[in-house]
């Protein structure tokens, strides 16, 4: 019961890694509060984790602040924030054929991914930080990715956000450490979420072939990393990017 009686917020908690983290934290005694835009599945996860669900768009600063205020009013504190919410809008940065521009990443796809993955992480962390400072400490965990470290073909927007999250993690670890707030990031490799399972078999096989451990990660593999970093076992770990990737080799 490593998170007994701790109030833990998880963004993007309705599916995938967020869902696995909510369930895993609940097993360890946490009071789990998730947010997402998917209401039906979010409510189901809340019931499974004996927690609570809120519909929140993390890119909307006012919605985030209202959510945090409600949680504090009800529970009196926030011990852990897992910034898991994220979206993908993959596409080539630019494609030229026979000297003519034929395709490029749209401004809309750039803006959406930046707003959710980067600004959303900023919004949530900034909303909970004063609470954690006043209560004497806390833990902020940010979802980055191996592509934020290594880059990846066709993911300019996503990579930019995940590299940015790494940078913010290191800044916040320095700024908030004096307040006993630990800030770390987890960088998953190829992980078998519901969305990934729907990909063509050939693509899945390619992912496995690039992973030396010979399999893709399961959402609970990532959840276990979050659990460790949230627990007192990681009390002297801050400013770290933990790769959970099966020793993956990212290629084009």
Q: How far is CA 125 from the centre of its chain?
A: 12
Quote the tokens at residue 67: 């959510």
> Any idea how long the chain is?
252
Place of tokens 């073909």: 153
Classify the C-alpha dihedral 7-12-15-20 as positive or negative.
Answer: negative
54, 75, 158, 226: which is the annotated catalytic residue?
158
Q: How far is CA 196 from CA 15, 27, 57, in A?
A: 12, 25, 23
- For residue 48 the two structure tokens come to 């499974």
Active site residue 158: yes
Beta bridge partners of 94: 104
Residues assigned a catalytic role = 158
């Amino acid at each position: 019961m490593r998170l007994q009686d701790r109030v833990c917020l998880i963004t993007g908690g309705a599916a995938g890694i967020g869902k696995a983290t909510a369930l895993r934290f609940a097993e360890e005694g946490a009071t789990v509060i998730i947010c997402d835009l998917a209401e039906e599945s979010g409510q189901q996860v809340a019931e499974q984790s004996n927690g609570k669900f809120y519909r929140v768009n993390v890119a909307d600063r006012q919605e985030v602040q209202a959510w945090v205020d409600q949680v504090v009013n009800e529970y009196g504190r926030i011990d852990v924030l897992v910034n898991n919410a994220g979206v993908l809008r993959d596409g080539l940065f630019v494609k030229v054929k026979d000297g003519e521009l034929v395709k490029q990443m749209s401004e809309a796809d750039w803006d959406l991914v930046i707003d959710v993955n980067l600004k959303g992480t900023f919004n949530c962390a900034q909303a909970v930080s004063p609470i954690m400072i006043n209560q004497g400490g806390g833990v902020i965990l940010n979802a980055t990715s191996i592509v934020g470290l290594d880059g990846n073909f066709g993911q300019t927007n996503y990579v930019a956000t995940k590299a940015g999250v790494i940078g913010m993690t290191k800044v916040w670890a320095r700024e908030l450490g004096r307040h006993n707030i630990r800030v770390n990031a987890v960088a998953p490799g190829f992980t078998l979420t519901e969305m990934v399972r729907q990909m063509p078999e050939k693509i899945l096989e390619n992912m496995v072939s690039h992973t030396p451990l010979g399999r893709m990660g399961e959402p609970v593999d990532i959840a276990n990393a979050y659990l460790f970093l949230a627990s007192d076992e990681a009390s002297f770990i801050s400013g770290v990017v933990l790769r959970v990737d099966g020793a993956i080799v990212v290629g084009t």
